[in-house]
Amino acid sequence: MFTVAVAIGLALSVQAYAVKPYRIPSESMEPTLNVGDRVLVNRFSHRLGSQPKVGQIVVFHPPAGADASPPRCGNSGQDVDGASPCARPTHTASPRTFIKRVVGVGGDRIGIRGGHVVRNGTLQREPFAAACGGGAECDFPRAITVPEGYVFLMGDNRGFSEDSRFWGPVPVSWVIGQAVAVYWPPRDLGSP
């Protein structure tokens, strides 16, 4: 009985501090991650001060404005109108968790052309991104600068993702950790 208790305690500690499973709830990360996929998230390295990097898929708390319908930008009165992405989130984090890809970090200038990121004036090669579909959110010709200590996050399914374009960059402190492996379903086993 003691061994079982120690094993359960160890498993709960690992989940609380090191690695935690998450289920993908929406199509916003397709084709990389599908609805129902389950991923393991490394929470430990983030707790030790590791900073998110461009290209990583992370789990995070979005701004409270992400919970609104339509999503709310932290710049009062700014709507996503095709002129520029939201430059600032609301001041508080939502209790919900989202999963998206880091496309910009503090100091980066971010614009969007045809659903693809223009980072520091260079159109990024994004073979993982699904077509955007041509809505106003697919082109932001006026770039914003991501504040230091923040990340700009987008779903891979650009036409079906509410992300930093709508509710602004996210403080690094709201990032929970990096998705490091898909563990379910077995056909998708591996790194995302």
Domains (range + CATH), the chain: 21-188 (2.10.109.10)
Strands (E), the chain: 19-23, 38-42, 57-60, 98-105, 109-113, 116-119, 122-123, 140-145, 150-154, 170-171, 175-184
- For 130-168, the pLDDT digits (tens) are 999 877 889 888 899 999 999 999 999 999 999 999 899
Q: What is the dihedral of CA 107, 109, 112, 116, to 10 degrees?
A: -60
- For 7-57, the pLDDT digits (tens) are 344 444 444 456 788 889 999 999 999 999 999 998 776 655 678 999 999
Q: Which residues are catalytic?
A: 28, 100
pTM of this prediction? 0.84
Q: Is the pLDDT of residue 60 over 90?
A: yes
Residue 25 and residue 128: Cα distance in Å, rounded?
19
**Contact between 119 and 105 (Cβ < 8 Å):** no
Residue 192 and residue 189: Cα distance in Å, rounded?
9
